[in-house]
Chains A and B, each alone.
Chain A
Amino acid sequence: MSESLTAILTLDQLSVRLPRGADRPHALSGVSLSITTDKILCVVGESGSGKSIMANAIMRLLPDEVGIDGGRVMFEGRDLAATTTAEMRKVRGAGIAMIFQEPMTALNPLRTIGDQIGEMFSIHTDLSSAAVRAKVLALLEDVRIPDPKVAARAYPHELSGGQRQRAMIAMALALDPKVLIADEPTTALDVTTQAQILALIRDLQKRKRTAVLFITHDFGVVAEIADRVAVMQHGFVVEQGDAASILNNPQHSYTKQLIAAVPPLTAPAPRKLSDDMILTIDNVSKTYRTGGFLGRGARVTQAVKAVSLKLPRGATLGIVGESGSGKSTLARCIVRLIDPDTGSIVLEGKDWAKLTRENVRRETRHIQMVFQDPFASLNPRRKAGELVAQGPIVHGTPRAKAIADAKELLALVGLDPSASDRFPHEFSGGQRQRIGLARALALRPEVLVADEAVSALDVSVQAQVLKLLAELRQRLGLSIVFITHDLRVAAQICDLVAVMKDGEVVEQGLAGDVFGRPQHPYTQALLDSIPGGDFAKKREAPSRVS
């Protein structure tokens, strides 16, 4: 613990209470932290840990029903928890600045970027508008936004996600604040963009000597940029210290659990794969035409371009790509939710792509899908048992038998049979995904397509669901197509991997080969962008469930 650097922001036994009826009385209980100049403090925790509330409490931006009821927030000799609102307003932006998770919604869609950044100056300084404009341009250059003059005149929806986040950073650092609070700023970004933004934050922090409080749920990010780490659970700080010791020698059981849940990047040793291809995708394309008046000026998007893949029986094929790569479109073509324009999809000898709607409905029992959003993928008005039994009932199974089978399936995926009588809103996100899995398995398919099936789950829950998938694949002899944007997840569970960019497959092969010896520059860039790459690579891959 170095004493030479002064603590610029100190939380001293801070407590924040929640309104009655919340799942616990306090969002934060006796939290003590200190943020020093020149260092990045990462606060890690899963959803519900109170990390965001802590950031809002420091800025005194809590919603009405939630309030500070104990402790102090010391900044520059003052207790921010006790100052007046007028005093607090002077601190916001000038002393402590904040950037948020979703840059699209965090910026006013009706005003230009230059306007919103310039507002910082008009609130806290007396500069003329010409001086402000010059400063805005300088800031945009600082954050390395392409074409700063154009960006200053642009509206938020005209920029990409990464550019918007750069603009937000420019806005936050406009007045050289002493502290920058970053609340999950890269969670909503693509992995390559995330890497750039993390590098930018670290660079700016070094140059301007800002103290940074970085909130995240991803231990990979922690490994990438943290100098010090604090781990939060249920409103308590369970462990804190400097990054190296926490990452390599965690003390608290929860910290160990979180670190263990981060999938390592080295793929486990390859298994023997079958020669029998259960699913062959050959030259599939899908093009979208939007707009256009009487056929002119239409915008053509090639979502999937001549994709060819093979899935051996009993194996898991991972399709990896960022947003816009076409992987979701491809997944939906495979299950015929979307009709591909060209190509063939041969499943058990039948060309799936050419079947009529009637036949698709009949044959669909052979290939089923698990969806991403555990909240939107279940009909809120049906009980869990009914949801699982729907498929067999549609295909002719008598209702009583279908419900009985459903109960067995729910047990198979690790839920209590009594769950069959409960509604979706009574379950957690991870449990809902299990129900979705049971539903997909009800028709005893040969192939399962998992479209970002674990992306919306907390890291520890993710690990459990992935383990379940591996077990089920073994038990039921499934072949799985696993779509994801998270390479670390793909490395853990997939035998074969295909990397997609802009609708094309740029590289495919055994997981070990693609991750260990990537050939295509895009794959290499993707692997390099994984936060905390070295940390992830050093960790041991758990042995496969065989």
Chain B
Amino acid sequence: MRILTLAGRRLAASIPTLILILIGVFLLLQFAPGDTVDAMMAQMGGGDAATARELRRFYGLDLSIPVQLGNYLWRLVRLDLGFSSIYGKPVATVILERLPPTILLMTASLSFAFFFGLVLGVVAARGVNKWPDTLISTLGLIFYATPSFWFGLMAIVVFSIYLQWLPAGGFEDIGRVQTGIWRTIDIAHHLVLPTLTLGLIFLAIYLRIMRASMLEVLNLDFVRTARSKGLDETRVVVRHVLRNALLPMVTLIGLQAGTMLGGSVVVESVFSLPGLGRLAYESVVQRDLNTLLGIVFVSALLVIAVNFFVDLIYARLDPRISPEA
């Protein structure tokens, strides 16, 4: 109950943030050269000024900005994200179609980065300043400095072009239609390289944080108490150090959620995945501002949702957090 109150309160506090984002981006987009109607007319191959005026009046684009903003927010509450002139479908439909690959990719990358970051961080901390630590820390630094899109391209060169083990892109095999378990395996096959690519930077970050966190906790007083009770080193780490060291890691998931979503834009472009990130890129290039705004909304929602779950987990792990804090 305490956990829900805590997380619920943070959630409620995110609503003004969400509104702030939406208003801010909406106003920002008013400065963009050209609007939806221009993009539509470019699609249609041109048109005269009268048609443009008609269309503008139809879409309510000739109203004043505050009114437009109000209309938009009102439609948003009813989850109506507007119409995409480029795709010819409601924005909500387009986004929903593109959501699954992104969520799949993010979940896989996060799990990969978290798990291996944790394991490697613990190994590095246990052997601090000896060769495992130096090796792992150096690798971590190099991964952190590697541009993700470049790593993706190089991975394609090695694994798809040279070794031909993994596909170079796409979400699933378009040639043959698979079903059931085969489809899952096919998708998994396609997601190996993208997951590795997106997860690499975060692996480096989690590794570094876990190592630092472990070293910090290993110096705390209660670890000395545990040792003075006669616990062997492994049990000290597992029963006392690990849970305490995990706390900053859990917080980090929430903080990095936005960055990961941003990273998926690039990774999906490199691997031609039909996800939300690539949709964002396309809407910028094709000037589909409605869709772009819809993506902003959904991205913010995703980040808030991730943070909500992170808060739940954190409150479960740490009994010191109380609703009054």
Question: Is any CB of A less than 8 Å from a CB of B in the complex?
Answer: yes
A106 at interface, CB cutoff 8 A? yes
Quick one: which of B224, B228, B319, B323 contacts A93, CB cutoff 8 A? B228
A440 at interface, CB cutoff 8 A? no
B324 at interface, CB cutoff 8 A? yes
How many Å from the CB of B158 to the closest CB on chain A?
A: 42
Separation of A28 and B230 alpha carbons in the complex (Å): 24
Q: Specify which chain A residues have a CB less than 8 angstroms from the CB of B222 in the assembled complex.
A: 105-109
Q: Specify which chain B residues have a CB less than 8 angstroms from the CB of A108 in the assembled complex.
A: 222, 225-226, 240, 244
A299 at interface, CB cutoff 8 A? yes
The majority secondary structure among interface residues of chain B is helix
B230/A61 in contact, CB under 8 A: no
Separation of A293 and B325 alpha carbons in the complex (Å): 12
Q: Specify which chain A residues have a CB less than 8 angstroms from the CB of B192 in the assembled complex.
A: none
Q: Specify which chain A residues have a CB less than 8 angstroms from the CB of B230 in the assembled complex.
A: 89-94, 123-124
Q: Specify which chain A residues have a CB less than 8 angstroms from the CB of B220 in the assembled complex.
A: 105
A232 at interface, CB cutoff 8 A? no
Provide the A84-107 mask, 1 if CB < 8 A to any CB of B, else 0. Answer: 001001111110011010100111
Candidate in B222, B239, B319, B323 with the most chain A CB atoms within 10 angstroms: B222
A110-B229 contact, Cβ under 8 Å, with A155-B319, A155-B320, A299-B324: no
Q: Specify which chain B residues have a CB less than 8 angstroms from the CB of A155 in the assembled complex.
A: 319-320
Quick one: which of A105, A110, A290 contacts B318, CB cutoff 8 A? A110
Quick one: which of B221, B224, B244, B324 contacts A110, CB cutoff 8 A? B244
A97/B228 in contact, CB under 8 A: yes
Q: Specify which chain B residues have a CB less than 8 angstroms from the CB of A119 in the assembled complex.
A: 226, 229, 231, 239
Q: Specify which chain A residues have a CB less than 8 angstroms from the CB of B324 in the assembled complex.
A: 290-291, 299
A106/B320 in contact, CB under 8 A: no
A105/B227 in contact, CB under 8 A: no
Provide the A109-137 mask, 1 if CB < 8 A to any CB of B, else 0. Answer: 11100000001100110000000000000
Quick one: which of B228, B239, B243, B323 contacts A98, CB cutoff 8 A? B228
Separation of A123 and B317 alpha carbons in the complex (Å): 24
Separation of A46 and B221 alpha carbons in the complex (Å): 21
B221/A89 in contact, CB under 8 A: no
Chain A: interface size category: 20 to 34
A100-B221 contact, Cβ under 8 Å, with A109-B244, A157-B320, A290-B324: yes
A106-B221 contact, Cβ under 8 Å, with A155-B320, A290-B324, A299-B324: yes
How many Å from the CB of B134 to the closest CB on chain A?
A: 17
B232 at interface, CB cutoff 8 A? yes
B221/A102 in contact, CB under 8 A: yes
Quick one: which of A89, A98, A105, A111 contacts B231, CB cutoff 8 A? A89
A92/B228 in contact, CB under 8 A: yes
Q: Specify which chain B residues have a CB less than 8 angstroms from the CB of A303 in the assembled complex.
A: none
Candidate in B220, B317, B324, B325 with the most chain A CB atoms within 10 angstroms: B324
How many Å from the CB of B106 to the closest CB on chain A?
A: 29
Separation of A90 and B232 alpha carbons in the complex (Å): 10
A59 at interface, CB cutoff 8 A? yes
A315 at interface, CB cutoff 8 A? no
Separation of A90 and B323 alpha carbons in the complex (Å): 42
A92-B225 contact, Cβ under 8 Å, with A105-B220, A110-B317, A157-B320: no
> Which of chain A's residues 402-448 have a Cβ closer than 8 Å to chain B?
none
Q: Specify which chain B residues have a CB less than 8 angstroms from the CB of A61 in the assembled complex.
A: 224, 227-228
Separation of A455 and B320 alpha carbons in the complex (Å): 29
Closest to A168 in B: B225
A123/B224 in contact, CB under 8 A: no
Q: Specify which chain B residues have a CB less than 8 angstroms from the CB of A107 in the assembled complex.
A: 222, 225
Separation of A107 and B222 alpha carbons in the complex (Å): 5
Separation of A59 and B235 alpha carbons in the complex (Å): 18
Separation of A107 and B228 alpha carbons in the complex (Å): 12
Separation of A151 and B239 alpha carbons in the complex (Å): 21
Q: Specify which chain A residues have a CB less than 8 angstroms from the CB of B227 in the assembled complex.
A: 61, 92
Candidate in A102, A106, A291 with the most chain B CB atoms within 10 angstroms: A106
Closest to B320 in A: A157
How many Å from the CB of A343 to the closest CB on chain B?
A: 28
> Which of chain B's residues 221-278 have a Cβ closer than 8 Å to chain A?
221-222, 224-232, 235, 239-240, 243-244
Q: Specify which chain B residues have a CB less than 8 angstroms from the CB of A291 in the assembled complex.
A: 323-325
How many Å from the CB of A90 to the closest CB on chain B?
A: 7
Q: Specify which chain B residues have a CB less than 8 angstroms from the CB of A68 in the assembled complex.
A: none
Closest to A154 in B: B319
How many Å from the CB of B216 to the closest CB on chain A?
A: 13
Quick one: which of A59, A102, A105, A111 contacts B228, CB cutoff 8 A? A59
B231/A109 in contact, CB under 8 A: no
Closest to A108 in B: B222
How many Å from the CB of B95 to the closest CB on chain A?
A: 34
Q: Specify which chain B residues have a CB less than 8 angstroms from the CB of A124 in the assembled complex.
A: 230
> Which of chain B's residues 6-35 have a Cβ closer than 8 Å to chain A?
9
Q: Specify which chain B residues have a CB less than 8 angstroms from the CB of A98 in the assembled complex.
A: 225, 228
Q: Specify which chain A residues have a CB less than 8 angstroms from the CB of B229 in the assembled complex.
A: 92-93, 97, 119-120, 123, 171
Q: Specify which chain B residues have a CB less than 8 angstroms from the CB of A106 in the assembled complex.
A: 221-222, 224-225
Separation of A204 and B118 alpha carbons in the complex (Å): 44
Q: Specify which chain B residues have a CB less than 8 angstroms from the CB of A91 in the assembled complex.
A: 230
Q: Specify which chain A residues have a CB less than 8 angstroms from the CB of B244 in the assembled complex.
A: 108-110
Q: Specify which chain A residues have a CB less than 8 angstroms from the CB of B317 in the assembled complex.
A: 110
Separation of A299 and B325 alpha carbons in the complex (Å): 11
How many Å from the CB of B299 to the closest CB on chain A?
A: 29
Separation of A75 and B320 alpha carbons in the complex (Å): 40
How many Å from the CB of B225 to the closest CB on chain A?
A: 5
Separation of A168 and B9 alpha carbons in the complex (Å): 36
Q: Specify which chain A residues have a CB less than 8 angstroms from the CB of B224 in the assembled complex.
A: 61, 100, 106
Separation of A98 and B221 alpha carbons in the complex (Å): 13
Q: Specify which chain A residues have a CB less than 8 angstroms from the CB of B243 in the assembled complex.
A: 110
How many Å from the CB of B240 to the closest CB on chain A?
A: 5
Closest to A117 in B: B229
How many Å from the CB of B310 to the closest CB on chain A?
A: 17
Separation of A27 and B222 alpha carbons in the complex (Å): 23
Q: Specify which chain A residues have a CB less than 8 angstroms from the CB of B232 in the assembled complex.
A: 86, 89
Q: Specify which chain B residues have a CB less than 8 angstroms from the CB of A111 in the assembled complex.
A: 240
How many Å from the CB of A452 to the closest CB on chain B?
A: 23
How many Å from the CB of B168 to the closest CB on chain A?
A: 46
Separation of A92 and B236 alpha carbons in the complex (Å): 14
Separation of A168 and B221 alpha carbons in the complex (Å): 13
Separation of A98 and B230 alpha carbons in the complex (Å): 11
Separation of A91 and B325 alpha carbons in the complex (Å): 42
Q: Specify which chain B residues have a CB less than 8 angstroms from the CB of A299 in the assembled complex.
A: 324
How many Å from the CB of A222 to the closest CB on chain B?
A: 24
Provide the A255-291 mask, 1 if CB < 8 A to any CB of B, else 0. Answer: 0000000000000000000000000000000000011
Provide the A319-352 mask, 1 if CB < 8 A to any CB of B, else 0. Answer: 0000000000000000000000000000000000
A109-B320 contact, Cβ under 8 Å, with A59-B228, A89-B231: yes
Q: Specify which chain A residues have a CB less than 8 angstroms from the CB of B323 in the assembled complex.
A: 291
A100/B320 in contact, CB under 8 A: no
Separation of A105 and B220 alpha carbons in the complex (Å): 7
Separation of A124 and B235 alpha carbons in the complex (Å): 13
6 tightest A-B CB contacts, nearest first: A291-B324, A92-B230, A105-B221, A93-B230, A93-B229, A108-B222
10 additional A-B pairs beyond A89-B232, A109-B318, A119-B231, beta carbons within 8 Å, are A61-B227, A86-B232, A92-B230, A105-B221, A108-B225, A109-B222, A110-B243, A119-B239, A157-B319, A291-B323
10 pairs across A/B with beta carbons < 8 Å?
Answer: A93-B230, A106-B221, A106-B222, A108-B226, A110-B244, A110-B318, A123-B231, A157-B319, A157-B320, A291-B325
